[in-house]
Amino acid sequence: MDVVRRLITWWEKKPAKPQRLLSRLLRLNYYLPKVVQLAKATKAKIEVNLFYYDEIRKKKIEKSLKKAGAKQVLGTNPKSYRKIGGLDSPRRIVDKDGIFVADVVVVPLEDGDRTEALKKMGKTVITFDLNPLSRTAQKADITIVDNIIRGMRLLVSACKKSKPAKTDFNNRRTLSSAVSEIKNNLKRRGSLA
């Protein structure tokens, strides 16, 4: 894990090459409007909460979210900050009117520590994770095992189409199904080699 954090830190500090910057902008330009659409479809609040904390970065994301149609963006006013217990990362700082009081939190690209801390606070956690065996996927209440861009598009579409209803969703069964699908795909690919 430490190697991954060092790699991410190196990536973040390294001057962006034009194609990498373009790639980041394309992902952000696609993703942020989907966040706004999901918030509107579910009547949810939006909070900016970053692992690599930077007020300037938060303000830029807030501006982009508002440009995409968000009316209110939480997590950018230091006077509203509260801390989640049991966490050492900057993600422990949340907005008192957002994650701190929410009953359901959508946490794309999350880390296991944060998911566990949110669960201890009694929150329902929905996450996106390509790895159904990760701690985040295992601890969340609902894990969408998919690429976040595609998964967010599908989630927004589903929320717009359906009305809230009680369901017997079983995250363990969903993760087990995802593992089986990965295993079967690996077998198929292995037979091609």
**Tens digits of per-residue pLDDT, 99-139?**
999 999 988 776 788 899 999 999 999 999 999 999 999 99
Question: Comparing 6 with 126, which gets the higher pLDDT?
Answer: 126
In tens, the pLDDT along 43-93 reads 999 998 877 777 888 888 889 899 999 999 999 999 999 999 888 887 888
Global pTM reads 0.80
Residue 112: the pLDDT is 85
CB 33 within 8 A of CB 39: no
Q: Please state, in angstroms and rounded to a whole number, the distance separating the CA atoms of residues 168 and 161.
A: 19
Residue 18: the pLDDT is 45
Cα-Cα-Cα-Cα torsion 40, 83, 60, 35, nearest 10 degrees, comes to: -20
Residue 82: the pLDDT is 93
Residue 173 belongs to what H/E stretch?
Answer: helix 171-192
Residue 29: the pLDDT is 67
Domain annotation for the chain: domains and CATH numbers: 16-187 (3.40.50.12640)
DSSP category for residue 85: T
Is 7 a residue whose pLDDT tops 70? Answer: no
Average pLDDT over residues 15-39: 64
Percent of the chain with pLDDT over 70: 83
